[in-house]
Amino acid sequence: GAVVSQHPSWVICKSGTSVKIECRSLDFQATTMFWYRQFPKQSLMLMATSNEGSKATYEQGVEKDKFLINHASLTLSTLTVTSAHPEDSSFYICSASGTTEAFFGQGTRLTVV
């Protein structure tokens, strides 16, 4: 099946710094990718829809300036958490749309200290 690679799998950063998370579709092209956030023992909440070659569409309540999304190619979308704070610590998961289903990355555990 199709593979979506997410990198890094975990990252620890200092408060105030920025962190970039990459999401790659390895064997198919994805015009649309999605970024989700998952708090411990909770479900996945959609943060934004990443569209290749255009601006991302953010869900209500998600800060556009804090969570920068770039989808520069059909195989790569990036999420940058800017000026990270401890409350941004979470598990971030991306997905890419295939022909009939969405494929998920392995997730990135972000810890801001």
Q: What distance separates the 2 farthest-apart alpha carbons in the chain?
A: 40
Q: Is 42 in the site for other proteins (CB under 8 A)?
A: yes
- CB 38, CB 56: distance < 8 Å: no
Candidates 13-21, 39-47, 65-73, 76-84 — which segment interacts with other proteins by CB under 8 A? 39-47
Q: Is 101 in the site for other proteins (CB under 8 A)?
A: yes
Of the two residues 4 and 19, which places its CB atom closer to other proteins in the complex? Answer: 4
Q: Which of 19, 21, 79, 93 binds other proteins (CB under 8 A)?
A: 93
> For the chain, what is the radius of gyration of the CA atoms?
13
Instruction: Give the helix, strand, coil percentages of the chain, each rounded to 5.
Output: 5, 55, 45
Of the two residues 13 and 44, which places its CB atom closer to other proteins in the complex? Answer: 44
Q: Is 13 in the site for other proteins (CB under 8 A)?
A: no
Q: Is 31 in the site for other proteins (CB under 8 A)?
A: yes
Task: Locate all alpha helices (DSSP H) within 15-66, ordered by sequence.
Answer: none
Q: Is 97 in the site for other proteins (CB under 8 A)?
A: yes
Q: Is 83 in the site for other proteins (CB under 8 A)?
A: no
- CB 75, CB 25: distance < 8 Å: yes
